[in-house]
Amino acid sequence: MNDSDRLRRIGVMSGGGDCPGLNAVIRAVTKTAISDHALEVYGIEDGFLGLIENRIRPLSYADVSNILNLGGTILGASNRADPANFCVGEDADGKPICKDVSDRVIEYVSSRRLDAIVCIGGDGTMTAAAKLALRGLHFVGAPKTIDNDLMHTEVTFGFHTAVETATEALDRIRTTAASHSRVMLVELMGRNAGWLTLYAGIAAGADLILIPEIPFSLDAIIEQCLARSRKGKAYTLIAVAEGAAPIGGEVVVDRVVRDSPDPIRLGGISQVLCEQIGHSTHLECRATILGHVQRGGTPCPYDRVLGTQFGHQAVKLLMAGQYDCLVVMQNGRLTSVPLAEVAGKQRTVPPDHPLIAAARATGSCFGDEGAA
């Protein structure tokens, strides 16, 4: 890199929803940039919304000290701000009016003299970054999501903390299920990808694990609950992803957020199944939706270490002039892939994944057993 091309000032932002480990990445990016490369670092508030509204502030070494163990993000986050499709108001019928404000973002980045931006996020964030990269902005991404569903990386930070949280919840629900001889359903996040439910379900020894990738049969679920009851097992623990759906059926939609780039919000499949199972089996059923509990709290050590690695590697890529790519973990080693290969895609659980086979062999069912 020539001196005239040398980076002098970079931005860092956390897009999409919050996630344990975000502060670890922000800390690693800022400290690496300042201490190793004498760069100026600017924090972009609330993800792409901060770029759209020009809310960008300097970050010092002290600003990011003592945040490694903090959940959430000191910069804030927003999952309702895509520069290419940003809601600017409503029409007479109350429908959102959206427009492309990418030119405004490019103007603000130029006026702040940001040479490149580390964007921390999931598939939505990387998709938005890839669009802006085509307009000449420089990005390096760090993979964040509790769903573990970004393409080309075997792990995202935040996932392991969410698995711990979900597993603890399932463990706690199991004790009350056993005490009251109930069928207990615990609904976990996972719209299109069932990694979180699969891992937590296996870790907690759930009797049924329902994920989006394997459509379930209600009859098969009912038979599993009754079979356990006939064998003298007084309760059944079911881990169900919010995106799980019956064979030939639809997901359960909780609400529609019309001014969001991703307006459909899932939720409630556990309550629907609870009513159906109870009606058909006459067993007492209860449903618990964990919701945002899975996103919050202190990041586990694994995610703190992983976030630090991702943040440090992101700055290394910037200094090497490798732009418009995502830091990924492949075969246990850090590497990178172009943003274009990640944008608009999701990594789902293959039906023949070894973990599914292991779960079946150790007594967990996926609701498809005996289905036509």
Residues 213, 244 within the same domain: yes
Q: Treating both helix axes as pointing N-terminal to C-terminal, what angle do 301-319 and 159-180 enclose, rounded to 10 degrees?
A: 160
- 35 and 85 assigned to the same domain: yes
- When the pLDDT of each residue in the chain is averaged and rounded to a whole number, the result is 93
CATH number, position 326: 3.40.50.450
Tokens of 297: 């709290």
CATH of the domain at 230: 3.40.50.460
Contacts of 131 (CB under 8 A, 6+ apart): 83, 84, 102, 343
Residue 369 lies in a domain: no
Shared domain check, 74 and 147: yes
pLDDT above 90 covers a percentage of the chain that reads 84
Of the chain, the percentage scoring pLDDT greater than 70 comes to 96
In DSSP notation, 51-81 reads: HHTT-EEEE-TGGGTT-TT-SS-TT---SS-
Instruction: For residues 242 and 117, state if they share a domain.
Output: no
pLDDT band at 5 (very low <50, low <70, confident <90, very high): low
| Domain count within the chain | 2
Q: Do 328 and 245 belong together in one domain? A: no
**Domain identity same for 236 and 321:** no
How do residues 283-296 score in pLDDT, each as one tens digit?
Answer: 999 999 999 999 99
Is residue 367 a part of any domain in this protein? no
- Between strands 139-143 and 325-330, the pairing is parallel
Instruction: Using the structure block, give the residue that is written with the tokens 């996103």.
Output: 295
Residues 10 and 126 in one domain: yes
Locate tokens 């270490």: which residue?
A: 305
HEC states along 137-203?
A: CCEEEEEECCCCCCCCCCCCECHHHHHHHHHHHHHHHHHHHHHHCCEEEEEECCCCCCHHHHHHHHH
Q: What is the DSSP letter of 209?
A: E
Task: Provide the annotated active-site residues.
Answer: 147
Domain match, 287 and 181 both: yes
Q: DSSP per residue over 303-351, as a string?
A: HHHHHHHHHHHHHHHHHTT--SEEEEEETTEEEEEEGGGTTT---PPPT
Based on the domain organization, do 193 and 113 belong to the same domain? no
Categorize the per-residue pLDDT at 265 as very low, low, confident or very high, splitting at 50, 70 and 90: confident
80/91 same-domain check: yes
Query: For residue 210, what are the domain limits?
Result: 163-296+350-361
**Model pLDDT for residues 284-329, shown as the tens digit of each residue:** 999 999 999 999 999 999 999 999 999 999 999 999 999 999 999 9
